[in-house]
Amino acid sequence: MFDLVGDIHGHAEALEAVLRKLGYRETQGAYAQPGRQVVFLGDLIDRGPQIPRVLEVVRRMVDHGSAIALLGNHELNALAFHSLWPGERDRWLRPRSNTNIRQHAQTLLQLPAAELKSTLRWFRTLPLWLDLPGLRAVHACWDERARTLVANHSTFREGELTDDFLLQACQAQGAIFPAVERLLKGPELPLPEGTSYIDRDGHPRQAMRIRWYLPPEGQTFRSFAISDAIDSDIPVADLRPDPALAYHPHERPVFFGHYWLRGAQPTRLAPNVACLDYSIAKAGFLCAYRWDGEQELCNTRFVTSQSS
């Protein structure tokens, strides 16, 4: 069975606390537990104070077979930040703007050059999703059309993110750019003209992250937002429904991170939907879910880094 862990962002103490709460113990240098496997949902790096230790713990578990690590948008961003455009000497797939440098700064500060190089090679081996008979996992959004488009693209290789794949995934004109954005960053809905909100990093936004897992009928912009915005900044105007957005209640349970949720206790978002990002890098806590095969998720199965 599986234990799924949300965005860690370099917080190793919280990670090891959650692993111990789940019953994992270090054996031959790697945390493990007989009969169970951890699924890390991405965003291991950036922001936090203990990035090298997080990478050490997770990589050892993956090598040991006691964990699977998925690619998050921060891992993809890191690959793009350190990858040159073809034929260019000083132009990077992810522009080295002040904002992008600031977001990646802790990783750059904490990882020596050789370790960073090794880490980037490892990131290229990480899957973008996990699709098993009993459950699904992805960093931000399960979208079958996006997943199929990526899986069938000529640049896609299981276990190897090639230079060609990165180029297509990281440039707006790339054939798979919208699909990769949807899987790793989630769909966004433009706000009504003339409206915006300020996100938790202080950036103005004209589009909002949405509750893609719920039917949009009867929703307003505010009720359909899943974001780090202050609720009052999102307009109450009705939105035009797109029935293709909803994740069907009879689908396998799906787990994801990414969304900076807040709250004293984690709860499922729908009977078969759980987000495990509870803002560890913004004074929140690390969140996991212990899955034992149930189709309907249970709020008592969440495990956090908070003191008992």
pLDDT tens across 81-135, in order?
999 999 888 999 999 999 999 999 999 999 999 999 999 999 999 999 999 999 9
Along the 308 residues of the chain, how does pLDDT read in single tens digits? 999 999 999 999 999 999 999 999 998 899 999 999 999 999 999 999 999 999 999 999 999 999 999 999 999 999 999 999 998 889 999 999 999 999 999 999 999 999 999 999 999 999 999 999 999 999 999 999 999 999 999 999 999 999 999 999 998 888 899 999 999 999 988 888 888 887 777 778 888 889 999 988 888 888 888 865 555 678 787 877 665 567 899 999 999 999 999 988 999 999 999 999 999 999 999 999 999 999 999 999 999 999 76
Which one, of 176, 81, 170, 68, lies nearest residue 129 by Cα? 68
Question: Would you kindly state where each structural domain of the chain is located, as residue ranges?
Answer: 2-304
Residue 274: CA count within 13 A, CB half-sphere: 33
- For residues 97 and 126, give the distance between their C-alpha atoms in angstroms, rounded to a whole number: 26
191: left (phi over 0), alpha (psi -120 to 50) or beta: beta
- Domain spanning 2-304 has what CATH number? 3.60.21.10
pTM for this entry: 0.95
Which one, of 110, 106, 180, lies nearest residue 138 by Cα? 180
